[in-house]
A and B are shown apart, each in its own frame.
Chain A
Amino acid sequence: MDHIIKRKKELVKEFSPMLASFSLTSKVWIGFLIAVIALGLYAFVLQILNGHEVTGMRDNVVWGIYIINFIFFVCLSYSGAFIAGILHFFKTPWKNSVLRIVEIITVLSIIIGPIFILLCIGRLDRLHYLFIYPRIQSPITWDIIAIMTDLIGCFIYLYLTFIPDFAILRDNCENVPNWRKKLYKFLAIGYQDTPTQREKLHKITRTMSAMIIAMAIVAYSVLAWIFSLTVQPGWNSSIFAPYFIVAGLYSGVGVIIISMYLIRKYFKLEHYIRKIHFIGAGIILLVISLLFGYFTFSEYFSRWFSHKVHDINLLNTLFNKYFWVFIFANYIGVLVPIVILFFKKFRTIKSITFAAVIGVVGLWFNRYLIVVPTLETPYLPIQDTRPEFMEYSATWIEWSLSFAGVAAFVLFFMLLMRLVPIIPMSAIIDYEREQNRKPKMSTQNQK
């Protein structure tokens, strides 16, 4: 027991520089991120004052990059929940290095994603109608219920995994401000790491892990159904729900790799986040990119082969107006990661991260191609409208709000890393405790 207490102190000492006051670089970064968010807030005020006129969204193309960001962030969250849930059931030490990154991504994305859907709403003053007059038949209502349930579930799950670390920090943190000590004490809810407390916490965390996997699948399918249950060309597809899930996993694993790279580099965590983690994540990304490529091909091939007028119109738009975006999203964004990750000699930390960046950016454009071209060539032909209403291009307001979303994600990530170490100390303790118990058990068995 003394050994464990000593080990906890060691770990707190090791990770306390991460929790200590901000370095100059961090301060510059935080300042920059706050500036981006402030610009976004200014854009938001303009949008509220002037209405959607300041965006590129019009009567015909009613959705733009807000909804794409919404899908992107929410898909990141669901895939994070999915991966975190699965990782929880693995009893390997390597999961400790990525588990918390995944958990934080999950929660932050589900907070930021839905904000973008609010930006899409022209009459925010009528938002409460969604709750006063919900229609159970509508996939939009399903999505609101799913997102809210998922948000609370993710919060609870993240909190459960944080409790043991809050307790360690409460008991071992020295030279930290008083408010922080009080915060750790409050958040640790009297957790003393007794066997009964530990067992209870493990039990409820296991149940929550299984639940958030199921919830991620249900919620993301519901999000896909918002599109696929319509008759719009490009959306009305039976494989959209699994396609969205695979795409979500693709971007999720990609963002995890990018986060791992940045955290490893800036917090000097080479000892914990090692090449083996990148190779493992890279191979998962390879498998998912193959699956994503296969789904993308199936989706477009069946549309091209069917020769239905609406689908052909959509494909004409994709292969003319959006030719290079299409090539980047569905060829470069899939094939480059596959090529890099397929050959063993290409699998370095930098190249795997590069593949992840290409994959993530490609996937964002893939979402763009799902939303915008369909609205430009809809099922019911656009008639008697202004030419500028038929095409969409995002304005600076939309871009600044989008970048503000990304900046908020990064800023919150940085602030959360100041609250608890990115490597879960309790998981390291649990693993070492397990390892110490195993030799004893085997010795007893031998006797």
Chain B
Amino acid sequence: MKTTFFRYSVLILLTGFLINTNSLAQENDANNYKMLFKFKTVKQHDNSRLLEVSFIGQNKEDRKDKIPVYEAEIKFYNILSDDEVLLGAAKTNKEGIASIILPVDQSYLSDEDGFINFTAKFEGSDALDEEEEEILIKDLFLELNLAEIDSVKTVLVKANLKDSLGVETPVAELDIIISVGGMLSKMKLEEDTLEDGEFEFKFPTDLQGDVDGNVTVYAIIDDHDEFGNVVQKQTIKWGIFNKETSKVSNTLWSEAAPIWMYIVLTILLVGVWSNYIYTIINLLKIRKEGKQLELNTEN
């Protein structure tokens, strides 16, 4: 509770740095934090592109103490030599994350080797210095196909680069991960390398899907030096739906109680009530003897 309170206090302070320019004490506090400005890009399954910055202050003395920078305006550019195209701007949220999504038809400036320069900039405030980070990547087109080939469920992945005329060039020696989506995270099925821009994978037959048997298959290029992050996904009815096999039999609304309950209850009740009857029989014997004694005395 105390830690949370402290974290939010500093968060508010860091927010304050962006607004209040005259606070020396606050500046001193901010000086205790090293600013981590991380920039990444993900080419998403619909071929749109996510640009995302994580802007977090890390305590210089206690590295575990990380405070997100809130409401910092981040600008995203596509740069080629002197040409600088503003792609968009976003403010960091409570987690210190600012992101924009670029549409599929977005055109980019790229150099002669096909590299696109994405740059994220924070222009700074009186309390925080300006930050800038760039990513140089090629625009990779990942294709994911799911097909049954000779009754074998097969995952087919192709990775290509396209030139300005739309001519495809297969990419070789590219590490790829095949996963399926779960409720909370993705489960990795295979990790391999694409040979000549293609990869084939036999999908397991015993994988559980949702109630309709659907599974979502992902092909992921993860943090590649040349292509960054690229994700493709497809949903298909390849999963099996396991019906609940173990029924809960011990419920209050069951037709009948478990048999052992009847047995135990019967034993207990028969035992106790037999003893009551035994006691009453003995009391009757005592009364009979008493009556006999009374008769003897009267006679």
Q: Which residues of A contact B (CB under 8 A)?
A: 135-138, 142, 145, 149, 152-153, 156, 160, 163, 188-192, 194, 196-197, 200-201, 203-204, 207-208, 211, 215, 218
Contacts and interface: CB of A to CB of B under 8 A. Distances in A.
B81 interface: no
B18 to A, nearest CB: 35
Contact of B286 (A153, A156, A189, A207): A189
Contacts of B288: 190
B150 interface: no
A331 B106 CA distance: 71
A151 to B, nearest CB: 12
Contacts of A137: 250-252, 254, 257, 261
Interface in B268-299: 268-269, 272-273, 275-276, 278-280, 282-283, 285-291, 293-294
Contacts of A196: 289
30 contacts: A136-B256, A136-B261, A137-B250, A137-B252, A137-B254, A137-B261, A138-B252, A149-B273, A153-B276, A156-B280, A163-B286, A188-B290, A189-B286, A189-B290, A190-B288, A190-B290, A190-B291, A190-B294, A192-B290, A194-B293, A197-B286, A197-B289, A200-B282, A200-B285, A201-B286, A203-B282, A207-B278, A208-B279, A211-B272, A218-B268
B262 interface: yes
Contact of A189 (B262, B268, B272, B283): B283
B265 interface: yes
Given A196-B289, A211-B275, 7 more contacts: A136-B262, A137-B257, A188-B290, A197-B286, A200-B282, A204-B279, A207-B275
Contacts of A207: 275, 278-279
A384 B262 CA distance: 41
Interface string B1-15: 000000000000000
Contacts of B256: 136
A171 to B, nearest CB: 12
A191 B279 contact: no
A145 B275 contact: no
A215 B272 contact: yes
Nearest to B258: A137
Interface of B: 250-252, 254, 256-257, 261-262, 265, 268-269, 272-273, 275-276, 278-280, 282-283, 285-291, 293-294
B257 A135 contact: yes
B279 A156 contact: yes
Given A191-B290, A204-B279, A215-B272, A136 B265 contact: yes
A208 B287 CA distance: 19
Nearest to A167: B290
A153 B275 CA distance: 9
The 5 A-B pairs with the shortest beta carbon distances in the complex, nearest first, are A190-B290, A136-B257, A189-B287, A137-B257, A204-B279
Contacts of A142: 265
Chain B interface, >50% SS class:
helix
Contacts of A191: 286, 290
A188 B269 CA distance: 28
A204 B286 CA distance: 11
B272 A192 contact: no
Nearest to A190: B290
B261 A156 contact: no
A265 B152 CA distance: 94
Interface centre among B250, B272, B278, B294 (most CB of A within 10 A): B272
Nearest to A196: B289
A194 to B, nearest CB: 7
A192 B290 CA distance: 6
A135 B252 CA distance: 8
A197 B293 CA distance: 11
A203 B279 CA distance: 9
Nearest to B251: A137
A118 B275 CA distance: 29
A45 B134 CA distance: 83
Contact of B293 (A135, A145, A190, A215): A190
Nearest to B297: A192
A152 B289 contact: no
Contact of A149 (B269, B279, B287, B291): B269
A208 B275 contact: yes
Nearest to A210: B275
A212 to B, nearest CB: 10
A137 B283 CA distance: 36
A119 B228 CA distance: 72
Contacts of A138: 252
A190 B279 contact: no
Given A200-B282, A203-B282, A190 B276 contact: no
B283 A204 contact: yes
A200 B279 contact: no
A39 to B, nearest CB: 37
Contacts of B286: 163, 189-191, 197, 200-201
A192 B293 contact: yes
Contacts of A197: 286, 289-290
Contacts of B285: 200
A63 to B, nearest CB: 18
Contacts of B283: 160, 163, 189, 204
Contacts of B250: 137
B289 A190 contact: yes
A195 B230 CA distance: 99
A215 B275 CA distance: 12
